[in-house]
Amino acid sequence: MNPRHVRSPFREAVVDLDAVRDNVASIASTVAPAGVMAVVKADAYGHGAVRVARAALAGGADRLGVADLDEALALRDAGIEAPVLAWLHDPAARFDAAIAHDIDLGASSLAQLESMADAAASVGRVANVHLKLDTGLSRNGILRGDWDDVVARAATLEAEGRVRIRGLFSHLANASPAEDAAQLSTFLDGVAAAERAGLAPEVRHLASTAAALRMPEARLDMVRIGIGIYGVPPFGDGTTAADLGLTPAMTLRGRIAAVRRVEPGTGASYGYTWRAPHPTTLALVPLGYADGVPRQASGRAEVVIGGTRHRIAGRVAMDQFLVDVGETEVAVGDDVVLFGDPAGGAPSAEEWGDAADTIGYEIVTRIGPRVPRTHVGGA
């Protein structure tokens, strides 16, 4: 059967769970003996948190990481019992339910630490806490001038049986090798301060995917792998997934909804930013910026139809975009691949990121809820 006549849903993001598992296993073998935390925040970067979490654990991840408490509780509701860390909290957050469900909590201030200790007392359990140190990213995290006071208080709360300091962590800016090395040095100063206060955390973690792969000295006890799980390179320097031994997990695709032949000079889509330079064929693809296809990629990104690449013609609209297929024979219902695994000829998420002046992370994460996720592979 001609592959372009294989029926696919109107629009669909196919997520290969075997690729997720294998990507985690590959990185785990590279960073050993450091452990691996699989980061499944933002619905696993748009791939589906529960299914991806299970595949990542099958690939050798020791723990899971999310941004907020709701994401962590959703994993527990799905029956996932592995250690889960949540590190970004609403100022009004209550930690009772998280502690009751054995979720590790990232504390970025003394006030958060005190709130966690109070919540632990209210539910009669110990709060497992990872202290986050600001080492230069200037987002959240305990300011360096407050480290001594916070670790001293943490030691007191630990002695009282209200908290257990399970980890110390920070986040690299990935600005330059020298600046990342300076952040590592600063982080180790924070570790020393914690040890002087009598704390003995199980894990020190600093490296995300980029540092885990290229900065071995930053691996410490554990690395946090986010974008690498999904087979998207973190570097922005032309390094491909294949170069890193990874496989892109998501393929975004749809079907041609309409085909028309146009004459020279015919305008297409809003503003007529594109006009036919010669007689050509336009194919309509029913995905748009409401589905996460970036409008910034208008006239620049490419798709694959029947094994051939073609460029978007004109502006991406909310629900659809046009492709100039030239003299290629296409038909309504033909499969269209926006991005996926370049090993199979598809554009990569990074290529779409370049076309939209952004990064591959944003391309996969922004795919909207109107696009169903179809998970393949996995146990």
- Token pair recorded at residue 35: 């452990």
Helix, strand, coil proportions of the chain in percent (round to 5)?
A: 35, 25, 40
Q: How many CA atoms, within 13 angstroms, populate the side-chain half-sphere of residue 182?
A: 9
Q: Catalytic: 132? A: no
Assign 219 to helix, strand or coil: coil
Q: Within a 10 A sphere around the Cβ of 373, how many other Cβ atoms?
A: 18
Q: Which of 230, 270, 272, 289 is catalytic?
A: 270
Alpha carbon 3 to its chain centroid, in Å, reads: 30
Q: Which residues fall within 8 angstroms of residue 48, CB to CB, at 6 or more apart? A: 15, 373, 375
Q: How far apart, in whole angstroms, are the C-alpha atoms of residue 299 and residue 356?
A: 10
Residue type, 189: D
The CA distance from 130 to 166, in Å, is 6
Give catalytic status of residue 270 as yes or no: yes
- Three-state secondary structure call for residue 68: coil
Distance in angstroms (rounded) separating the CA atoms of residues 283 and 336? 10
Give catalytic residues, as residue numbers: 41, 270
